[in-house]
Amino acid sequence: GAAVKIAPSMLSSDFANLASETERMIQFGADWLHMDIMHRHFVPNLTIGAPVIESLRKNTKAYLDCHLMVTNPIDYVEPLSKAGASGFTFHVEVSKENWKEIIQRIKLGGMRPGVALKPQTAIEEVFPMVESENPVELVLVMTVEPGFGGQKFMPEMMDKVRKLRRKFPSLDIEVDGGLGPSTIDMAAAAGANCIVAGSSVFGSADPAQVISELRKSVQE
Ligand code: DX5
Ligand code: ZN
């Protein structure tokens, strides 16, 4: 099966101290750092872009798992590659026409391609991208409406995860939204191996404990 990756979402961190926040998450046992790149045309929020990733990269060697909540992901490929992003996950809803080109450019830029889908999007829509001769290497199943941290996990999304896992035994399947100690078992049982967690990690007095609890639940 696919290796477990615990990815704290830096959206819930203190943005004024991003370098030290990323550093402590790595010390606490995080595998990846999940970076939510949002632009108002796709979600009702605005966060960070390539300049912040570039500054962060000067302070860390960590895997920067970038989740692009933008309407024009292809425009971000080159800037993020130059900035030092590790993973580049774009949304299927905005890449129907050019996903082959996006994947190709992500790989040329030395990043790992992934595709994300919103709660109302059917899982079948990403199958061609996983089955392509130049495939995405990760599928991110949104378990809340994208836009904000701290929302409630949608258990009905686990059908998508189960379908994906049945079809693609070694694929990286990431879940994002509302994950924490009380919801991790549903995600793990369905077959997710990459776990994004924002408010449950940063809202805890003991983030290292939450990270290790998440990891154990997925490994079991
Ligand atoms: C939501 C983002 C998530 C978010 C998760 O649009 O994609 O990564 O930060 O936060 P929690 O874990 O608090 O739901
Ligand atoms: Zn995200």
* pLDDT tens-digit series, residues 112-154: 999 999 999 999 999 999 999 999 999 999 999 999 999 999 9
| CATH code of the domain covering residue 113 | 3.20.20.70
Lowest mean pLDDT among 1-10, 21-30, 124-133: 1-10
Phi, psi at residue 144, to the nearest 5°? -150, 170
DSSP H stretches of helix in 28-157: 50-57, 74-83, 99-108, 127-131
User: Residue 23 contacts by C-beta under 8 Å, 6 or more apart in sequence?
Assistant: 59, 60
Nearest to 213 by CA among 20, 11, 28, 24: 28
pLDDT at position 220 is: 83
**Is 144 a pocket residue for ligand 1 (Cβ < 6 Å)?**
yes
How many CB atoms within 10 Å of residue 202?
20
Query: Which ligand lies nearest to the CA atom of residue 179 in the structure?
Result: 1
Instruction: Reply yes or no on whether 176 is catalytic.
Output: yes
In sign, the C-alpha dihedral spanning 43, 67, 12, 154 is positive
Query: Which ligand lies nearest to the CA atom of residue 11 in the structure?
Result: 1
User: Residue 204 contacts by C-beta under 8 Å, 6 or more apart in sequence?
Assistant: 210
Residue in the block written with tokens 């879940």 = 175
CA 35 to ligand 2 centroid distance, Å: 7
How many helices (H) and strands (E) are present in the chain, helices listed first? Answer: 9, 8
**Is 197 a pocket residue for ligand 1 (Cβ < 6 Å)?**
yes
Measured from the CA of 151, which atom of ligand 1 is nearest?
A: 14
Token readout for 82 is 């130059």
Residue type at 66?
Answer: C
- Mutate-to-test residue for ligand 1 from 12, 117, 157, highest number of ligand atoms within 8 A of CB: 12
51-59: average pLDDT: 98
Angstrom distances, CA of residue 6 to CA of 20, 29, 74, 118, 206: 18, 8, 27, 21, 15
- Mutate-to-test residue for ligand 1 from 6, 68, 142, 144, highest number of ligand atoms within 8 A of CB: 144
Token readout for 68 is 């692009």
Token readout for 66 is 């970038």
Domain that holds residue 111: 5-219
| Mean pLDDT over each residue of the chain, to the nearest integer | 98
Banded pLDDT at 82 (limits 50, 70, 90): very high
What total number of domains does the chain contain? 1
